Amino acid sequence: MNSRGIMKAMIAVYLGIFFTYLFGPLLVMGVTAFNTPTYPQAFPFQTFTTHWFADLLGDRDMMEGLWNSIIIGLGVICLAVPVGLAAAIVMTQVYWRARSLYYLVVVSPVLTPGVILGISTVIFWKDFTEATGTKQIEILGMDFGLYSGIFLSIIGQSTFICAYCMLVFLSRLQRFDRAQEEAALDLGASFPQVFWHILLPFLRPAIFSSAILAFLSSFENYNTTTFAILANKTLVTVLAGRVRQGTTPALSALAVIIVGISLIGAIAYEVLRRREDRIAAQRAKVAREAERDGMAAVPQAA
């Protein structure tokens, strides 16, 4: 019994150290955002100030970068989610002899360093746009050329984000009951009808989660973007430039905002999931009771 106690204490100490390592630097950074010295300092704490936050709002480069980041993130969602879905469906249908090669090709971006994806994207699209004359396309006096930082960033990031989305869809598809499809086909539905009315509704949660995943991965990406963005900027590349120049508490302030947003997102997600769990549990309970009372003569679905 005593060794159990020691074990428990050891686990507690270990958890304490681990989470201090994980959160310590972030907490310190959070404190520096509200401290007055121009070099980010947590201790000694001089006076409470919010002027680093005001600094941030007045920073035009950062605001422009933020705007570009959002555009790129939305672009990545529009590209990566449909492609990931298609890739997952093709995976279930692809000719079996080609399957392992297909898998190798589509999963390789996940295992490739981000800088390499950025470099290859820029090199390829530079020549491609030159060869096809799409480097600059003017529509109504605005340049919609394909050789632009925003477009290349969307393409470069999507190279691996599509694979993330595909993996999300694949894991959901694994739980797909083929019997549903067969039942629909037996009842005279065509394959496209099965796709629209059975497969897509089943995959809806995966569509949402892959869209969120795609946006977040795009938003915080640095390695690929720093090459693909060319002369343009995103929030992260602006940030990188600032950190290289020197450290100011305004960066801590930005971090506080980002952490705050993630915290709210995580809590909202958690609350939603708990409510869903509760509803599901309630439904299961009602079903069980109904069955016990002999009211449900229908065999239960698997």
Partner 1 sequence: MLKTIIILLPFVLIAVFWAMAARERRLANDPSRKSFFERNGAVISTYLLVAVGFWAIMMIVLPQLYMVDYSFHPKLPPSERGGPKDVYTLANYKFFLFGPQIGNEVTWNTTHIRAFFLTIGASMFVTFVNFCLCYPLAFYLAQVATAQRLRLLMMALIVPFWVNEILRAFALRIMLGTSGLINNALIALGVIGEPIDFLGLDIGLYVGLSYAYLLMMIFPLYNAIESLDKNQIEAARDLGAPWWHIHLFVVMPFAKPGIASGCTMVFMLSAGALAAPLFLGGPNSLWFTPIVYDRFFQAFNWPQGAAYAFILLLACIFFVLAVLKVFKVGLGEITR
**Span interacting with partner 1, options 45-53, 136-144, 250-258, 291-299, rule CB under 8 A:** 250-258
Judged by CB under 8 A, the chain residues 144 through 163 that form the site for partner 1 are 155, 158-159, 162
Pattern 189-228, partner 1, x by CB under 8 A:
-xxx--x--------------------x---x-xx--xx-
Is 262 near partner 1 (CB under 8 A)? yes
**Span interacting with partner 1, options 143-151, 203-211, 251-259, 290-298, rule CB under 8 A:** 251-259
Judged by CB under 8 A, the chain residues 56 through 95 that form the site for partner 1 are 82-83, 85-87, 89-90, 93, 95
With respect to partner 1, which residue has the nearer C-beta, 285 or 296?
285
Q: Contact, 222 vs 237, CB < 8 A?
A: yes
CB atoms within 10 A of CB 243: 11
Cross-strand bridge partners of residue 48: 35
With respect to partner 1, which residue has the nearer C-beta, 92 or 291?
92
CB of 193 to partner 1, least distance (A): 9
CA-to-CA dists, residue 192 to 88, 170, 176, angstroms: 16, 19, 17
With respect to partner 1, which residue has the nearer C-beta, 47 or 132?
132
Is 171 near partner 1 (CB under 8 A)? yes
DSSP symbols for 246-278? ---HHHHHHHHHHHHHHHHHHHHHHHHHHHHHH
Tokens encoding 42: 């947590």
CA-to-CA dists, residue 255 to 44, 54, 239, angstroms: 21, 14, 10
